[in-house]
Structure 1
Amino acid sequence: MNHSRLFLLSVVMILTGCTGLPDGIEPVSELDLERYKGTWYEIARLDHSFEEGLSSVTADYALNPDGSVTVTNRGYSDEEGKWQEADGHAVPVEGAPAGHLKVSFFGPFYASYVVFILDSDYNTAYVTGYNRDYLWLLSRSPEVDEKTLDDFRKTAREQGFDLGELIVVDQSRNLPASKGN
């Protein structure tokens, strides 16, 4: 099976999961989707089959007039030597804190998208899924300083995440030519 099909199949399989929350994880109470929209760079993640071998991963969020969010995830497949893209749709979970959304990349199947830490400038976000197998550090910049990464690791451990499979994402294709190529 080629990487594109595996990527799509894995996304579909993960999104048939749950829209609940990991025990003890609290979504941020305030999330201004207008400020959250735009491009976020994946700095670190717990690796999964649907992102395996992908570098320079980004997530683009566009706010729709009905309050939903269009999601475009993009990453470079080192194995295939080309970009992979998956388009989805997110909506706030009814009755939940603002940082708890549900996202779908395939029909009516949704999975949790939980922003549990967001800095006041909307420059970094810690995101998980319905359990602690999913974890991302997102940033508005393709690079963060070591302190930001260390703080993320420390907080994730304190929140009960197993960081044994954590990878720092190569963002070199998203850096200016003088730095990344």
Structure 2
Amino acid sequence: MKRWPVLLALGLALALGGCASSSVDPLAPKTAGHVDLKRYQGKWYELARLPMRFQQDCAQSEAHYNLKPDGSLGVLNRCRTEGDEWLRAEGHAGIEEPGHTDKLWVEFDNWFSRLVPGLTRADYWILYVDEHYQTAIVGSPNRRYLWILSRTPSLPAWQREHLLSKARQQGYDTSRLVWRVSDKQIVARH
């Protein structure tokens, strides 16, 4: 049962991350403005992220969002390790401030979140989404977390640079990003 320690660590890190993210920088990054959550739902590939403990073994990650009738989002995150094992975490997201669909919180279902509901919520701010809902930048207001997302597992260099430039303009350190490992790289390691 090699998965349980990883899932336990994932859940605890998410829980603690939620606690730590509650202090909002007065110079917080600007968010995308109105986000159509119906268009935002679906599958997103993580192209890059700032380093974080709960994703340290992830070579490829993806997020699946499903809009619920009450306006919240069901969340399923999947992570493929370099050992070609898939891990998953399920949760939900909701609007942080009424009327602001670009400022969400996310909470994953684990033993800690069931023990202290609401305490494990983490900020999930949509900083940018393109007009066709094909690329997005998500971060936390304290700039500890950043994800560059796409509907496809890779993008042309010019498009990656465009997203990096937007993240840098918001004050995120993109020199530390961890990039998605390609399928070929994972297969080659076996």
The alignment's TM-score, normalised by the length of structure 2, stands at 0.83
Between 149-158 and 130-139, the greater mean CA deviation after superposition: 149-158
In structure 2, the partner of 1:97 is 100
In structure 1, the partner of 2:130 is 119
> What are structure 1's unaligned runs of at least 5 residues?
none
SS at match of 1:130: coil
The answer as to whether partners of 2:10 and 2:55 remain within 8 angstroms in 1 is yes
For residues 11-41 of structure 1, the C-alpha deviation after alignment (integer angstroms, 9 at most, x for no partner) is: 1211223356542412222111110110000
The alignment's TM-score, normalised by the length of structure 1, stands at 0.87
The answer as to whether partners of 1:27 and 1:97 remain within 8 angstroms in 2 is no
2:53 to 46, 49, 65: 49
Alpha-carbon spacing, 1:147–1:47, altered in 2? closer, same or farther (3 Å): same
Alpha-carbon spacing, 1:98–1:20, altered in 2? closer, same or farther (3 Å): farther
Question: How far apart in 1 are the matches of 2:92 and 2:20?
Answer: 15
Structure 1 residue 161: deviation in Å? Answer: 1.1
Coordinate RMSD, CA, aligned: 2.2
1:1-181 equivalences under 5 Å are 2-19=5-22, 21-22=24-25, 23-79=27-83, 81-95=84-98, 97-105=100-108, 106=113, 107-108=117-118, 109-172=120-183
Alpha-carbon spacing, 1:19–1:33, altered in 2? closer, same or farther (3 Å): farther
Alpha-carbon spacing, 1:112–1:96, altered in 2? closer, same or farther (3 Å): farther
Greater share of residues in helix: 2
Alignment length (residue pairs): 174
Runs of 4 or more above 4 Å deviation = 19-22
The answer as to whether partners of 2:28 and 2:141 remain within 8 angstroms in 1 is no
For residues 46-65 of structure 1, the C-alpha deviation after alignment (integer angstroms, 9 at most, x for no partner) is: 01001102022000000111
Identity in percent: 31
